[in-house]
Chain A
Amino acid sequence: MPLILDVEKTYREAKSDPAFKQEFDHLLKEFVGRPNPLYYAKRMTEHLGGAKVYFKREELNHTGAHKINNCVGQILLARRMGKTRIIAETGAGQHGVATATVCALFGMPCVVYMGAKDIERQKPNVFRMKLLGAEVVPVTSGSESLKDSMNEAMRDWVSNVKDTFYIIGTAAGPHPYPELVRDFQCVIGDEAREQILEKEGRLPDSLVACVGGGSNAIGLFHPFLDDNVDMVAVEAAGLGVDTDKHAASLTGGSPGVLHGNRTYLLMDDDGQINEAHSISAGLDYPGIGPEHSYLHEIGRVKYVPIDDKEALEAFQLCSKLEGIIPALESAHAIAYVMKMAPDLPKDHIIVMGLSGRGDKDIFTVAEALGEEI
């Protein structure tokens, strides 16, 4: 606990220090490659025949997803606290790669905990992390996926409090992580806001993003919360929310306490956490960031399920129509855009968070489609 109070204290100081913001902005521009485009998906829009669809292109960031925004912010905090060793958990491997990348940038040793099951289905990312100099530790406890990696990272952290900083990848976990991850990811929504005003002269009607823990969604949504903009967050329904194989915490879960936050969780009657399931490793988490639970309860954001099959279809359609292979996580958001756009008028503007690119997923998709590569 004293450690996490230190994280909070350091974060408060950093937030009001112009030099911190300056360094963060500089790295986002020069290293991450921001701002990334707000792209009008013309062929997708024509194909769907309704609302006008824009993609916020987080997949064009260095390392191929939105995860790097947060990692840049957190490693600057780690340095500020004088920590010399970094640990992280990862599901799909995107956050692991992003963490390994910033560690290489700052010359800090990095240990990434990753479920044995996820290591198997995300081999390219595992190798990327190794190339970047990180040690990838397979987690064989529990369901061998994201929540278990988070347990293992916490065990490491309490054992190495003196020199270690834990870079959490999503807007969940103990306070102040949900808040600081959100703040670092708000660059997505801040940019999108400026870009849509420039292109359309007005704010969008709807925002759509996928949610697992929910960092890309909260980053896109947060800067628009006080505006008259509808927001839809797409949860992974796996084989269906009426089965026991899904990851839709808000659609199919209930409030509980895990990893230091009270939020919606998938669990049984005895409070034991269930294994989540999704074709997308990055959404395969039985909880969701606490701010999403709040936005759900006050009805500000609508949370909808998209299953594996729908995500796979969207994955292929986006690849063919737009020349963009999306991450399976982002394909959930695309699938919902495909559902909603046709019924909306042509002047309805949707901004969708294209949170990551899909190179890492081609093996999973090929297998699901019964093709050998």
Chain B
Amino acid sequence: MALSRIEKRFDKLKSENRAGLVTFTTAGDPDLETSLEILKGLPGAGADIIELGMLFSDPMADGPAIQEASIRALKGKMTLSKTLDMVKSFRKVDQDTPIILMGYYNPIYIYGVNHFLEDALSAGIDGLIIVDLPPEEDSELAIPAKKAGMGMIHLSTPTTDNKRLEKILENASGFLYYVTIAGITGTAKPDLTPVKAALDKFRKVSDIPMAVGFGIKTPDDAARFASFADAVVVGSAIVDIIKQNLTEENVANSELTGRVLSFVKELSKGVNRADREN
């Protein structure tokens, strides 16, 4: 089988001996047009993998920043189909950067799992992170996704032990997303040492690439985690820049896209200057 875009990207990162930068923004935040403009600018600004949030009315695993992004997208009448269309339009200008959709199960369940997988693959989506489907429910989506050739990124947390990890990895593909804190997105600041220890432990049982995320906010944070992780995810801090560049009516000001992308450039520099261990 041909290598997936995610596999190719991690191979490339490995050959360059650096960690990847994974950026998160919510599709349709603050509006469809701006969101697409940001999406198209991300690879040029240094995003190695793009995580795109699918809005949900009840984002249980997210902190205030991403909750608000979801509400802005919802108010702008964003939908799952429009999210797929956005990616289709992105693929006209970029064939190489993997795109991962992150969100909750209900919109996919309502769209219809098989129908969704078909449309998402043809739109050029490479993987899914569905935070409210634990491995116990792999038959719902992870197994059909795997069969269809869609990457299924599973989450593990500081409460995951090795036995649990085996279960998590059973139907996982693409990479493992290690949640650095016990908590929700964009809140507590993670400590480096326990995260590194957890990854070291996991690497003894699996060679799947490991991304770390939740609470990583600055280029310096990114640099520190990039010294040992295969990829570093930044979400809420980027979404905060979107929020800071809205008018009182929640409309994007003219600087918004530029500011988001220059922040991503800084994050990318952070990741690339990391002192890699070998």
Interface residues of A (CB under 8 A from B): 1-3, 141-142, 147-148, 151, 154-155, 158-162, 256-260, 265, 267, 269-274
Determine whether B132 belongs to the interface, using a CB cutoff of 8 Å to chain A.
Answer: yes
Within 8 A of A (CB), among B40-80: 55-61, 63-64, 67, 71, 74, 79-80
Interface residues of B (CB under 8 A from A): 55-61, 63-64, 67, 71, 74, 79-81, 105-111, 132, 134-136, 159-161, 164, 181-184, 187-188
Residue from B55, B58, B79, B184 in contact with A158 in the complex, judged by beta carbons closer than 8 Å: B184
Residue of B with least CB distance to A153 = B60
- Contact, CB under 8 Å: A141 / B132: no
- Contact, CB under 8 Å: A257 / B182: no
Known: A159-B183, A271-B110. A142 touches B105 (CB 8 A): no
- Contact, CB under 8 Å: A158 / B183: yes
Residues of chain B within 8 A of A274, CB atoms compared: 57
Q: Which of B64, B106, B159, B181 counts the most A-chain CB atoms under 10 A from its CB?
A: B106
Residues of chain B within 8 A of A260, CB atoms compared: 132
Q: A1-B136, A258-B106, A270-B79 are in contact. List 9 more A-B contacts (CB 8 A).
A: A1-B164, A142-B57, A142-B71, A151-B59, A155-B60, A155-B184, A159-B187, A271-B108, A273-B106
- Contact, CB under 8 Å: B183 / A271: no
- Contact, CB under 8 Å: A2 / B80: no
Residues of chain A within 8 A of B105, CB atoms compared: 257
Q: Which of A2, A155, A160 counts the most B-chain CB atoms under 10 A from its CB?
A: A155
Closest chain A CB from B72 CB (angstroms): 13
Interface of chain B, main secondary structure: loop
- Contact, CB under 8 Å: B60 / A259: yes
Known: A1-B134, A2-B164, A271-B80. A256 touches B182 (CB 8 A): no
Residue of B with least CB distance to A254 = B110
The 3 A-B residue pairs whose C-beta atoms are closest, nearest first, are: A271-B110, A271-B107, A159-B183
Residue of B with least CB distance to A140 = B64
Q: Which of A154, A272, A274 counts the most B-chain CB atoms under 10 A from its CB?
A: A272
Known: A271-B80, A272-B74. A2 touches B60 (CB 8 A): no
Known: A155-B61, A161-B182, A257-B105. A2 touches B160 (CB 8 A): yes
Cα–Cα distance between A265 and B104 once the two chains are bound (Å): 15
- Contact, CB under 8 Å: B184 / A270: no
Residues of chain A within 8 A of B183, CB atoms compared: 155, 158-159
Cα–Cα distance between A27 and B131 once the two chains are bound (Å): 38
Residue of A with least CB distance to B81 = A270
Residues of chain A within 8 A of B181, CB atoms compared: 159
Cα–Cα distance between A270 and B104 once the two chains are bound (Å): 12
- Contact, CB under 8 Å: B106 / A257: yes
Cα–Cα distance between A159 and B184 once the two chains are bound (Å): 7
A-B contact pairs, 18 of them (CB 8 A): A1-B135, A1-B164, A2-B161, A3-B159, A142-B57, A142-B58, A147-B58, A151-B59, A158-B61, A159-B181, A161-B159, A256-B106, A259-B58, A259-B60, A271-B56, A271-B106, A271-B108, A272-B74
